[in-house]
Amino acid sequence: MNFLTYLMHLASSGAVAYYTASQIRDSKTRPIVLKGLHLSEAGSVGFLSALSERAANEGDTWLAEKLKKHALDETKHSQIFAHALKQIDKNFIDSEPKIAPKGQSKQGRSPLFAAYYEGYSKEQLSPAVIDWDIFMASTYIMELDAGKDYMRMANVLPDDERATHNLKLGMLSIAKDETGHAAYLYEAMMRRMPARQVQKLVDEWRTRKVQAVFKVIDYVLKDTDTIEAA
């Protein structure tokens, strides 16, 4: 990662950290954030389960077990957010699917993911055919950042209410899991290729993540200007 990309990474990380922290700290916007997190975590389960089966069929039992645990963790995470939402409104998520259909990934679900995986078709990103290097490197970056994001969000939640205190503990647990996911994905890459190639892949997807974040920020700012002009 070159110096300019590094500076952009710091800037984008700061912007994301400020936005997510402010949104979850505010009791008015917190339900929206929690719902998005719930759907994101639940939406990964089928994709990871399908990848686990694929790895097992290809003879990589180590990776298959890691992916299986990853899927179980995502289920647990979605349940943490579902519980938090039910404490706000017990009917809040009744109409939402708990887990996406097996084999369905969350790529393309948001502008960020669309920008992050720009140039790749939905078929190329399906669990049956996705290139393992692409999956490992791109997901490593997302999991690594997610661990830090969850930690920041947890730390801004107030402790004066039981519900938010429990949510804070849950999010700290999720942050630890996400960091663990990043660790096994990095190890998986190191098992498959030389360290120099791993670093090249990581740099490539870090650059993609930075560019994707700035594209989303630009989109939001332009959309806001359009609304104000109207």
Among 148, 180, 128, 153, smallest CA distance to 23 is for 153
User: In this structure, are residues 184 and 191 in contact, taking their beta carbons and an 8 Å threshold?
Assistant: no
- Domain ranges across the chain: 3-229
**Packing angle between helix 61-88 and helix 162-192, nearest 10 degrees?**
160
Q: Which amino acid would we find at residue 190?
A: M
**pTM higher than 0.95 for the full model?**
no
Under the banding of pLDDT at 50, 70 and 90, the label for residue 104 is: very low
pLDDT at 221 (0 to 100): 62
**Interval 192-222: pLDDT, tens:** 999 999 999 999 999 999 999 888 877 666 6
In CATH, what number does 3-229 get? 1.20.910
12-16, 82-86, 105-109, 133-137: range with highest mean pLDDT: 133-137
The tokens describing 113, both together, are 């993911």
What secondary structure does DSSP assign to 29-51, as a single string?
THHHHHHHHHHHHHHHHHHHHHH
Neighbours of 161 (CB within 10 A): 12
Q: Which residues, 6+ apart, have CB-to-CB distance to 2 below 8 Å?
A: none
**Interval 48-61: pLDDT, tens:** 999 999 999 999 99
User: In this structure, are residues 114 and 218 in contact, taking their beta carbons and an 8 Å threshold?
Assistant: no
H-only helix segments in the chain: 3-25, 30-57, 61-88, 111-116, 132-156, 162-192, 195-229
**Interval 17-42: pLDDT, tens:** 667 778 888 989 999 999 989 998 99
Between 105 and 190, whose confidence is greater? 190
Under the banding of pLDDT at 50, 70 and 90, the label for residue 15 is: low
How large is the average pLDDT for residues 127-133?
97
Among 141, 121, 129, smallest CA distance to 12 is for 141
